[in-house]
């Protein structure tokens, strides 16, 4: 296994938040992130149901904070894609500082101890942001930064984490991979 299960969940959550909350292009089409009253629901949907035990009362201010954090997390993926590991590390350090990420063991009644990266009384978005920042720190600082990627398909800038054995992933989805292969085939037949 490339990442332990907790880090894998946090990385999935990070990718989902970045791809949901940042404008750009997705699968060959312009993508506009949810705004206004749709934003809290989009944030809730982007986070795995089992990933965060904090209550999810996402108000407008917390939603704006999560959008800003997602944009900053996207910068980490882009810096790694561009071969700028120092830029990625500085961005991760800023996220760790600004989210007040700190390790802590917590246990719900009748459950095993679990490692969290937020305080017991933090809001949902603070805890979620701290967990995502820590996951990015473990990847960048653990020699696995090359596993963070931005889709290489034309007109797509969605991010992904490469969990393949050979570290050869280049696309955010099978749809983008197939679209790229079909375009290359049409170009050869030309």
Structure confidence by residue, pLDDT tens digits, 124-156: 888 899 999 999 999 999 999 999 999 999 999
Domains of the chain: 5-189 (1.10.3300.10)
Whether residue 105 has pLDDT greater than 80: yes
Average pLDDT over the chain reads: 91
* Neighbour-count burial of 58, counting CB atoms closer than 10 A to its CB (0-12 exposed, 13-18 middle, 19+ buried): buried
Q: What is the pLDDT of residue 54?
A: 55
Structure confidence by residue, pLDDT tens digits, 151-188: 999 999 999 999 998 989 999 999 999 999 888 877 88
- How many of the other CB atoms lie within 10 Å of CB of 39? 20
Distance CA 55, CA 142 (A): 31
pTM more than 0.85: yes
**DSSP symbol at 111:** S
Structure confidence by residue, pLDDT tens digits, 76-87: 999 999 999 999
């Amino acid at each position: 296994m490339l990442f332990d299960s907790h880090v894998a969940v946090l990385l999935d959550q990070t990718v989902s938040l970045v791809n949901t909350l940042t404008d750009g292009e997705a699968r060959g089409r312009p993508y506009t992130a949810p705004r206004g009253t749709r934003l809290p629901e989009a944030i809730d949907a982007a986070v795995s149901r089992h990933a965060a035990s904090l209550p999810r009362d996402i108000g407008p201010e917390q939603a704006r904070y999560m959008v800003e954090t997602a944009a900053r997390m996207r910068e980490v993926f882009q810096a790694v894609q561009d071969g700028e590991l120092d830029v990625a590390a500085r961005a991760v350090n800023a996220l760790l500082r600004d989210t007040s990420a700190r390790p802590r063991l917590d246990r719900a009644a009748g459950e095993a101890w679990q490692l969290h990266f937020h305080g017991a009384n933090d809001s949902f978005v603070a805890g979620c942001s701290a967990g995502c920042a820590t996951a990015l720190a473990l990847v960048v600082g653990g020699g696995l930064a090359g596993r963070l990627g931005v889709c290489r398909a034309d007109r797509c800038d969605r991010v992904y984490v490469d969990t393949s054995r050979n570290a050869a992933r280049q696309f955010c989805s099978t749809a983008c991979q197939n679209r790229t292969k079909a375009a290359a085939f049409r170009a050869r037949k030309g």
